[in-house]
Amino acid sequence: QVQLVESGGGLVQAGGSLRLSCAASGRTFSTTSMAWFRQAPGKEREFVGVVNWSGVNTNVAPSVKGRFTISRDNAKNTMYLQMNSLKPEDTAVYYCTALGSNGDWTYWGQGTQVTVSS
């Protein structure tokens, strides 16, 4: 069974930084695109960023451009989200996901809470 586990969330002050990790187990995802989403209380799930299978190509949402960076280490089956200059509106549960063969985000982690105080 495929499992994705996020870690690294916590409480930080506005302007601070956090680094989230998403570790894959049960199957190798080294050839699969992966992405980060987030969901704030009472709001819809929001796309944050994506990284291709090799880690060379990345894209992030306009709301986090210039502040967040996505990377991956295929030798460790781990994807990362480096978050700098955090804002209170970044407060959310952050989820990692992996692309399935049908072209949809198929595999999901349990989420990790990020809280940014003003």
CA dihedral in degrees (89, 14, 92, 78; nearest 10)? Answer: 130
Calculate what percentage of the chain has a pLDDT beyond 70.
95
- C-alpha 94/C-alpha 70 separation (Å) is 13
- C-alpha 57/C-alpha 98 separation (Å) is 15
pLDDT, the chain, mean: 93
Q: In this predicted model, what pLDDT tens digit does every residue of 94-108 receive, in sequence order? A: 999 998 878 899 999
Calculate what percentage of the chain has a pLDDT beyond 90.
80
**Encoded tokens for 59:** 């894209």
Average pLDDT over residues 76-92: 96
Beta 92-99 vs 58-60: how paired, if at all? unpaired
Confidence of residue 25 (pLDDT cuts 50, 70, 90): confident
Looking at residue 75, what is its pLDDT? 87
